[in-house]
Amino acid sequence: MAIRPQPILIYLVGGSDLDRAAYSSLLRHELGLEVAIHSDFAATAVWDALRKKPQLVLVDADTASGAAIDAINMIPRLTPEARILLISAAVEPVVVRGWSGCRMHGYVIKDGGVPELRMAIEAVLADREYFSVGIRPLLEAGPEGSGVIKLSRRESELLPLLARGLSLRDAASQMAVSYKTAESYRTSLLRKVGARDRVELARFAIRNGIVEP
Protein backbone atom coordinates (compact mmCIF):
# COMPACT_ATOMS: atom_id res chain seq x y z
CA MET A 1 0.00 0.00 0.00
CA ALA A 2 1.44 3.38 -0.98
CA ILE A 3 1.93 6.05 1.63
CA ARG A 4 0.13 8.53 -0.62
CA PRO A 5 -1.87 7.84 -3.78
CA GLN A 6 0.08 10.32 -5.91
CA PRO A 7 3.85 10.60 -6.50
CA ILE A 8 5.59 12.99 -4.17
CA LEU A 9 8.69 15.01 -5.00
CA ILE A 10 11.67 13.31 -3.37
CA TYR A 11 15.36 13.42 -4.11
CA LEU A 12 18.10 11.18 -2.88
CA VAL A 13 21.46 12.74 -2.12
CA GLY A 14 24.58 10.60 -1.73
CA GLY A 15 25.33 6.95 -2.32
CA SER A 16 26.61 5.19 -5.44
CA ASP A 17 24.72 4.91 -8.73
CA LEU A 18 23.74 1.37 -7.71
CA ASP A 19 22.46 2.59 -4.35
CA ARG A 20 20.38 5.30 -6.04
CA ALA A 21 18.90 2.83 -8.53
CA ALA A 22 18.06 0.43 -5.70
CA TYR A 23 16.40 3.13 -3.58
CA SER A 24 14.49 4.49 -6.57
CA SER A 25 13.10 1.01 -7.26
CA LEU A 26 12.34 0.37 -3.59
CA LEU A 27 10.56 3.68 -3.10
CA ARG A 28 8.55 3.30 -6.29
CA HIS A 29 7.47 -0.33 -5.93
CA GLU A 30 7.25 -0.71 -2.15
CA LEU A 31 6.17 2.74 -1.03
CA GLY A 32 4.54 4.28 -4.11
CA LEU A 33 6.94 7.24 -4.17
CA GLU A 34 9.03 8.64 -7.00
CA VAL A 35 12.58 9.93 -6.72
CA ALA A 36 12.28 13.07 -8.81
CA ILE A 37 15.88 14.23 -8.46
CA HIS A 38 19.22 12.56 -7.78
CA SER A 39 22.17 14.53 -6.47
CA ASP A 40 25.59 13.93 -4.98
CA PHE A 41 27.02 16.02 -2.14
CA ALA A 42 28.65 18.65 -4.33
CA ALA A 43 27.37 22.12 -3.35
CA THR A 44 26.44 23.07 -6.91
CA ALA A 45 24.51 19.81 -7.41
CA VAL A 46 22.63 20.21 -4.13
CA TRP A 47 21.80 23.84 -4.91
CA ASP A 48 20.48 22.88 -8.35
CA ALA A 49 18.35 20.06 -6.89
CA LEU A 50 16.88 22.30 -4.22
CA ARG A 51 15.57 24.66 -6.90
CA LYS A 52 12.87 22.00 -7.47
CA LYS A 53 11.57 22.62 -3.93
CA PRO A 54 11.47 18.99 -2.76
CA GLN A 55 9.06 18.02 -0.01
CA LEU A 56 11.34 15.32 1.30
CA VAL A 57 15.10 14.88 1.09
CA LEU A 58 16.45 11.38 1.64
CA VAL A 59 20.13 11.50 2.55
CA ASP A 60 21.98 8.21 2.11
CA ALA A 61 25.24 8.42 4.07
CA ASP A 62 27.03 5.94 6.30
CA THR A 63 29.62 8.41 7.60
CA ALA A 64 29.35 12.03 8.68
CA SER A 65 31.78 13.36 6.09
CA GLY A 66 32.32 17.08 5.72
CA ALA A 67 30.68 17.06 2.28
CA ALA A 68 27.59 15.25 3.58
CA ILE A 69 27.26 17.57 6.59
CA ASP A 70 27.62 20.64 4.37
CA ALA A 71 24.95 19.26 2.00
CA ILE A 72 22.49 18.68 4.83
CA ASN A 73 23.11 22.12 6.28
CA MET A 74 22.35 23.73 2.90
CA ILE A 75 18.84 22.29 2.81
CA PRO A 76 17.12 24.30 5.58
CA ARG A 77 18.79 27.49 4.37
CA LEU A 78 17.56 27.13 0.80
CA THR A 79 14.32 25.17 1.26
CA PRO A 80 13.23 25.49 4.90
CA GLU A 81 9.98 23.64 4.20
CA ALA A 82 11.79 20.46 3.07
CA ARG A 83 11.79 17.48 5.42
CA ILE A 84 15.15 15.74 5.90
CA LEU A 85 15.50 12.01 6.57
CA LEU A 86 18.94 10.44 6.96
CA ILE A 87 19.32 6.78 6.00
CA SER A 88 22.50 5.29 7.44
CA ALA A 89 24.17 2.03 8.42
CA ALA A 90 26.00 3.83 11.23
CA VAL A 91 25.07 2.92 14.80
CA GLU A 92 28.48 3.43 16.44
CA PRO A 93 28.27 6.37 18.90
CA VAL A 94 31.35 8.13 17.55
CA VAL A 95 29.92 8.08 14.01
CA VAL A 96 26.34 8.99 14.95
CA ARG A 97 27.51 11.92 17.08
CA GLY A 98 29.13 13.37 13.98
CA TRP A 99 25.65 14.31 12.74
CA SER A 100 24.66 16.09 15.95
CA GLY A 101 25.08 19.58 14.51
CA CYS A 102 22.79 18.90 11.54
CA ARG A 103 19.13 19.78 11.45
CA MET A 104 17.15 16.70 10.42
CA HIS A 105 13.69 15.31 10.99
CA GLY A 106 14.67 11.66 11.14
CA TYR A 107 17.50 9.14 11.21
CA VAL A 108 16.63 5.58 10.18
CA ILE A 109 19.11 2.72 10.44
CA LYS A 110 19.40 0.54 7.35
CA ASP A 111 19.15 -2.75 9.22
CA GLY A 112 15.59 -1.82 10.17
CA GLY A 113 14.58 -2.80 6.64
CA VAL A 114 11.64 -1.62 4.56
CA PRO A 115 9.09 -1.64 7.43
CA GLU A 116 11.08 0.85 9.48
CA LEU A 117 11.89 2.98 6.43
CA ARG A 118 8.16 3.13 5.68
CA MET A 119 7.39 4.23 9.24
CA ALA A 120 10.11 6.86 9.09
CA ILE A 121 8.90 8.33 5.79
CA GLU A 122 5.28 8.34 6.94
CA ALA A 123 6.22 10.14 10.16
CA VAL A 124 8.44 12.73 8.49
CA LEU A 125 5.87 13.51 5.79
CA ALA A 126 3.27 13.95 8.53
CA ASP A 127 5.43 16.67 10.13
CA ARG A 128 6.60 14.37 12.89
CA GLU A 129 10.10 13.11 13.63
CA TYR A 130 11.42 9.57 13.46
CA PHE A 131 14.69 8.35 14.95
CA SER A 132 15.63 4.67 15.15
CA VAL A 133 15.93 3.43 18.70
CA GLY A 134 19.11 4.54 20.46
CA ILE A 135 19.94 7.26 17.93
CA ARG A 136 18.36 10.39 19.39
CA PRO A 137 20.24 10.19 22.73
CA LEU A 138 23.54 9.99 20.83
CA LEU A 139 22.67 13.01 18.69
CA GLU A 140 21.59 14.98 21.74
CA ALA A 141 24.90 14.19 23.45
CA GLY A 142 26.66 16.31 20.83
CA PRO A 143 29.97 15.67 19.09
CA GLU A 144 31.90 15.73 22.37
CA GLY A 145 29.44 13.54 24.27
CA SER A 146 30.42 10.17 25.66
CA GLY A 147 27.96 8.33 23.44
CA VAL A 148 27.14 6.05 26.38
CA ILE A 149 23.52 5.67 27.39
CA LYS A 150 23.67 5.46 31.17
CA LEU A 151 21.11 3.11 32.71
CA SER A 152 20.55 2.56 36.39
CA ARG A 153 21.20 -0.90 37.83
CA ARG A 154 17.49 -1.67 37.89
CA GLU A 155 16.95 -0.40 34.33
CA SER A 156 19.83 -2.61 33.19
CA GLU A 157 18.13 -5.59 34.86
CA LEU A 158 14.76 -4.83 33.31
CA LEU A 159 16.00 -4.29 29.74
CA PRO A 160 16.95 -7.89 28.88
CA LEU A 161 13.83 -9.27 30.56
CA LEU A 162 11.51 -7.14 28.44
CA ALA A 163 13.64 -7.68 25.33
CA ARG A 164 13.27 -11.45 25.73
CA GLY A 165 9.48 -11.10 25.77
CA LEU A 166 8.57 -11.18 29.45
CA SER A 167 5.52 -9.20 30.44
CA LEU A 168 6.13 -6.26 32.72
CA ARG A 169 4.31 -8.10 35.53
CA ASP A 170 6.53 -11.18 35.16
CA ALA A 171 9.64 -9.00 34.93
CA ALA A 172 8.59 -7.18 38.11
CA SER A 173 8.14 -10.51 39.88
CA GLN A 174 11.57 -11.73 38.77
CA MET A 175 13.14 -8.49 39.96
CA ALA A 176 11.21 -8.70 43.25
CA VAL A 177 9.69 -5.23 42.85
CA SER A 178 6.12 -4.02 42.58
CA TYR A 179 4.41 -3.66 39.20
CA LYS A 180 4.19 0.11 39.72
CA THR A 181 7.93 0.33 40.41
CA ALA A 182 8.73 -1.77 37.34
CA GLU A 183 6.48 0.47 35.29
CA SER A 184 8.49 3.50 36.45
CA TYR A 185 11.73 1.75 35.44
CA ARG A 186 10.27 0.93 32.03
CA THR A 187 9.19 4.53 31.41
CA SER A 188 12.67 5.80 32.25
CA LEU A 189 14.30 3.05 30.20
CA LEU A 190 12.27 3.83 27.08
CA ARG A 191 13.08 7.52 27.41
CA LYS A 192 16.81 6.99 27.85
CA VAL A 193 17.26 4.70 24.84
CA GLY A 194 14.81 6.61 22.64
CA ALA A 195 12.47 3.64 22.19
CA ARG A 196 8.73 3.97 21.68
CA ASP A 197 7.66 0.44 22.58
CA ARG A 198 8.76 -3.09 23.48
CA VAL A 199 9.68 -3.94 19.88
CA GLU A 200 12.11 -1.03 19.64
CA LEU A 201 13.48 -1.91 23.06
CA ALA A 202 14.22 -5.42 21.79
CA ARG A 203 15.94 -3.98 18.71
CA PHE A 204 18.13 -1.84 20.94
CA ALA A 205 19.04 -4.84 23.11
CA ILE A 206 19.92 -6.99 20.08
CA ARG A 207 21.89 -4.21 18.37
CA ASN A 208 23.96 -3.66 21.52
CA GLY A 209 24.57 -7.36 22.21
CA ILE A 210 22.45 -7.41 25.37
CA VAL A 211 20.32 -10.32 24.11
CA GLU A 212 20.73 -12.75 21.23
CA PRO A 213 18.60 -12.19 18.09
* Total of domains in the chain: 2
Task: Tell me, yes or no, whether 3 lies in a domain.
Answer: no
Mean pLDDT of each 10-residue bin along the chain, 213 residues long: 52 80 87 86 90 90 90 92 92 85 92 90 93 87 61 87 91 92 90 82 80 75
pLDDT at 4: 46
Q: Which domain holds residue 17?
A: 9-141
pLDDT at 105: 96
Task: Tell me, yes or no, whether 131 lies in a domain.
Answer: yes
CATH number at residue 201: 1.10.10.10
CATH number at residue 125: 3.40.50.2300
pLDDT at 6: 43
Digit-coded pLDDT (tens) for 158-188: 988 998 889 999 999 998 999 999 999 999 8
Whole-structure pTM value: 0.75
Q: Among residues 145, 142, 156, 143, which one has the least CA distance to residue 193?
A: 156
Residues 40 and 137 grouped into a single domain: yes
Kindly list the distances between the CA atom of residue 206 and the CA atoms of 37, 190, 199, 209, in Å, as whole numbers in the listed order. Answer: 36, 15, 11, 5
Residues 105 and 14 grouped into a single domain: yes
